[in-house]
Structure 1
Amino acid sequence: MSDAAQPTAAEVRAAVEAVKTALDRHLAAIERRTGDDDPAVYEAFNELAAAAEEYDELLYDRYDEVTPFEIPGVEDALPPYTGPEEPNALSVLIRRDYAVAEPERLLAQARRVEAADEEGVRGSSAGTVHGAVGVLFGEFEPDEIASRHKEFGLEEGDSTLWVTAADEPAEPGDWLEAPFEQVDPQRVVCRFDVSTVFDDEPDDEPDDDLEDDFGPVSELEDDEDLEPLEVDR
């Protein structure tokens, strides 16, 4: 940043005073709150987050220093719950990301599923990676895929689970065209996130379990190197 664009010392001082004021307001809102989801606490939290972020930026631009704390921004927090106290319906939204770490293993497992399908209703979909994905997810429940992802040549990424409340159950077919749109964050009862970004010490060591359990990927063409799959459902 050029000297002309740098904030003044007075601006930095004003920013830290704004943080002090926001801290007092946040504590006061907590002391006066009427419930776990008091909107006043949420508003004071957002004001504190904005003031802290502004101070941190000005401090760095002026003195090349940073604060020793981090307050999550507004976009990192769910708004207060405003849904029904006694919901008559719940929606569970799940997202799980995977990397296709070993396409050969994925293809081999899909071919085994097709081979075990006596009726042959799947045809030869397992000849491509995207076709193999369809075969495996059509055969196994998502939770089983998650628990056995290494067997299918997949590597886990981030995942999240949201539970939202509704006044009444949706009519059959109502949301099938756009199942994940129009989710009201204020009706989220709870949320659970899993990500390596939360790990204090990321595991950088190579994972040898896959090769130890199933043998080198180059040998996967032989069915003897694969764990038995339960496909009689």
Structure 2
Amino acid sequence: MSDAAQLTRTEVREAAEAVKAAIDRHLEAVSSTTTDDDPAVFAAYEELAAAAIHYDQLLYEVYDEVTPFEVPGDGGPGSYQGPEEPEAVSVLIRRDYRIVDPRRLRAQAERLDDSLAPVTGEEQGVTAAVGVVFGEFEPDEIAARAEEFGLEEGDSTLWVTATDPTEPGEWLAEPFDTPDPHLLLCRFDVSEVYDEDDLDD
């Protein structure tokens, strides 16, 4: 067996193990939730769906076989149920940061806003600094310069959902109502969890 063939079969095995791990995480999320529409359950569902699709694709490419399961996203439970031709989309972004260097964050804020007095003693002035920095820079720039601002990137996700056209200001009073997963057109996640799973495999 060539090295390339062995590598490909190894990838199938790794994909199968990833499905098993995703099943365990999904079961844990489902069995421990106490609320409806728990985002942890949905996230685990999406992770399981992605792992199953990846495994199914590799299995077909290498062995010309398929799984007996309905692949989520192809009309199964939890799949997209919005309009085929949406008139508008909403882009929902969440990025988490740990404040690992409060004084660096405050120093950046003081450079931007002369009215901020330098902090002394144990005071760190994080709350005001966050408002200044995030008010001055676009989210993408903060993500690119996180370390410069004393921040450490955590998990992030971007959802694109189908929505109805709205008038200016119509949804601003409640901008972050729980999004309907059945209107999700696509999502993109960045997390160290995936890297850790790869290492475990």
- TM-score normalised to the size of structure 2? 0.58
Does the CA-based 8 Å contact 1:163-1:188 persist in structure 2? yes
- Cα root mean square deviation, aligned: 2.2
Give matches, 1:139-154, under 5 Å.
139-154=136-151
- 1:125 Cα shift? 7.4
For the residues of structure 2 that align with 1:175 and 1:150, how far apart are their CA atoms?
33
1:114 maps to a residue whose letter is: D
1:91 maps to a residue whose letter is: S
1:150 maps to a residue whose letter is: E
> Unaligned 5+ residue runs, structure 2?
1-18, 31-40, 47-77, 120-124
Moved over 4 A (4+): none
Does the CA-based 8 Å contact 1:125-1:131 persist in structure 2? no
2:112 maps to a residue whose letter is: V
Select the residue among 145, 167, 170 that pairs with 2:166: 170
Does the CA-based 8 Å contact 1:161-1:192 persist in structure 2? yes
Give matches, 1:82-231, under 5 Å.
82-115=81-114, 123-124=115-116, 128-166=125-163, 168-199=164-195, 200-201=198-199
> Alpha carbons of 1:71 and 1:136: their partners in 2 closer, same or farther (altered >3 Å)?
closer
2:182 maps to a residue whose letter is: Q
> Alpha carbons of 1:189 and 1:96: their partners in 2 closer, same or farther (altered >3 Å)?
same
For the residues of structure 1 that align with 2:118 and 2:167, how far apart are their CA atoms?
36
1:112 maps to a residue whose letter is: R
For the residues of structure 1 that align with 2:135 and 2:117, how far apart are their CA atoms?
11
For the residues of structure 1 that align with 2:140 and 2:107, how far apart are their CA atoms?
20
> Alpha carbons of 1:156 and 1:69: their partners in 2 closer, same or farther (altered >3 Å)?
same
For the residues of structure 2 that align with 1:185 and 1:149, how far apart are their CA atoms?
30
Q: How many residues align structurally?
A: 127
Q: Which has the larger radius of gyration?
A: 1
